[in-house]
Structure 1
């Protein structure tokens, strides 16, 4: 992230393996706490209990709750943006987007707390990550939009606005984490049945990929 909160002196030294592991334990414990209660509703004591540490021990690694929250967001953003960064301009467009959508759905399923944490941060005006959204995220989206735009101009994808395509992928894949309660209210115990995740992925892939496959006689939209 561009705007950094100064870290404790311990962070300026090369951490030992134990220190690195303990920091990871704290961040793993903090994610579900922040996801469930938000930044304001979460406490150091809650995070320490979930991490299995004393409060003084936790504060050796992170001076303030703000520092933990920022570190969790940084870690979450790195994980969530990796699949988009890996979209290969030289690959087959439909297969590259299929892989991206599949990975996003898998991440939403396996780590819904990360998706909800990000959503809550944005809904609250993104006080911590707004500089990141306006710089690194914007640059990455523009970079990948240019790739999609190139595929469209080559006739390898149907005419589509690349930025809005990325927005659609984000909305559909993260919906299953951010609105899990609503989905369960509608589908009941169907969400717990074997094959539900695969069925969900197939439905989304069918809608999105059938919408972007090149069509005979289709022309690219004007620049």
Structure 2
């Protein structure tokens, strides 16, 4: 059963994600965050102490899923299965955490001033591990001679665009907002492009 404290923190965190995604850290206001959450402004400071702490919590709320998305790389598996699972996890983040994803993207574009040294290390170490896995598959002849760094960057760009540029995608598709079928189509398209482009063996593999 969710406690009142946990419920209120979740409401504030979601409202803060929307506020910071829309206005950035400097322009975001705790009064507007409280209004979005439907709670008194003092509650924001009661639970998070300061606007900067709240902003860091928003970043933490996206860093953890980003790290978790790489779980397929952390155990033995076929390239097709690992890449498929990774892409689907990244699309899921864009669907479920679009505002936090936008905050993270903005943070990175500004040189990551609010990411902790530990978060930066974790993200960098995981990326290096994923790249090493891809290189190992290339060395074993399991996929084409692609640049593993740029393959990973391309997957990031292709999946995160569904959160960071959802407005543009909605305009082009003529929809008010994307639905589950759009995200499924996105996942299948990206998976097909990556697996075919990397010449990964997909026999008996369902995308």
Query: Shorter-normalised TM-score: what interval?
Result: 0.7 to 0.9
Contact 2:94–2:163 at 8 Å: present in 1 too? yes
Cα offset, 1:144, TM superposition: 1.6
Cα offset, 1:77, TM superposition: 0.7
Q: 1:171 aligned to 2:154?
A: no
CA distance in 1, matches of 2:52, 2:100: 17
Cα offset, 1:214, TM superposition: 4.2
CA distance in 1, matches of 2:80, 2:196: 9
Segment drifting more, 85-94 vs 139-148: 85-94
Query: In the alignment, what sits opposite 2:140?
Result: 154
- CA offsets 1:60-118 (integer angstroms, 9 cap, x no match): 11221011001111121112221113424411111110111012112212321121111
Cα offset, 1:134, TM superposition: 4.5
Query: In the alignment, what sits opposite 2:196?
Result: 210
Query: In the alignment, what sits opposite 2:94?
Result: 108
Contact 2:21–2:100 at 8 Å: present in 1 too? yes
Q: 2:33 aligns with which of 25, 47, 50?
A: 47
Q: 1:145 aligned to 2:131?
A: yes
Structure 2: give runs of 5+ residues left out of the alignment.
202-207
Q: Secondary structure at the match of 1:90?
A: coil
Normalising by structure 1, what TM-score?
A: 0.80
| Distance change in 2, residues 1:93/1:195 (3 Å) | same
Cα offset, 1:197, TM superposition: 2.6
Contact 1:94–1:157 at 8 Å: present in 2 too? no
| Distance change in 2, residues 1:174/1:192 (3 Å) | closer
RMSD, aligned CA: 2.4
CA distance in 2, matches of 1:49, 1:154: 56
Q: 1:77 aligned to 2:66?
A: no
Segment drifting more, 50-59 vs 64-73: 50-59
CA distance in 2, matches of 1:193, 1:126: 31
Structure 1: give runs of 5+ residues left out of the alignment.
1-15, 216-223
Question: Considering only CA atoms, is the larger Rg found in Structure 1 or Structure 2?
Answer: 1
Query: In the alignment, what sits opposite 2:13?
Result: 27
Query: In the alignment, what sits opposite 2:104?
Result: 118
Query: In the alignment, what sits opposite 2:52?
Result: 66
The number of residue pairs the alignment matches comes to 200
CA distance in 1, matches of 2:16, 2:95: 19
Q: 1:93 aligned to 2:96?
A: no
CA distance in 1, matches of 2:163, 2:88: 14
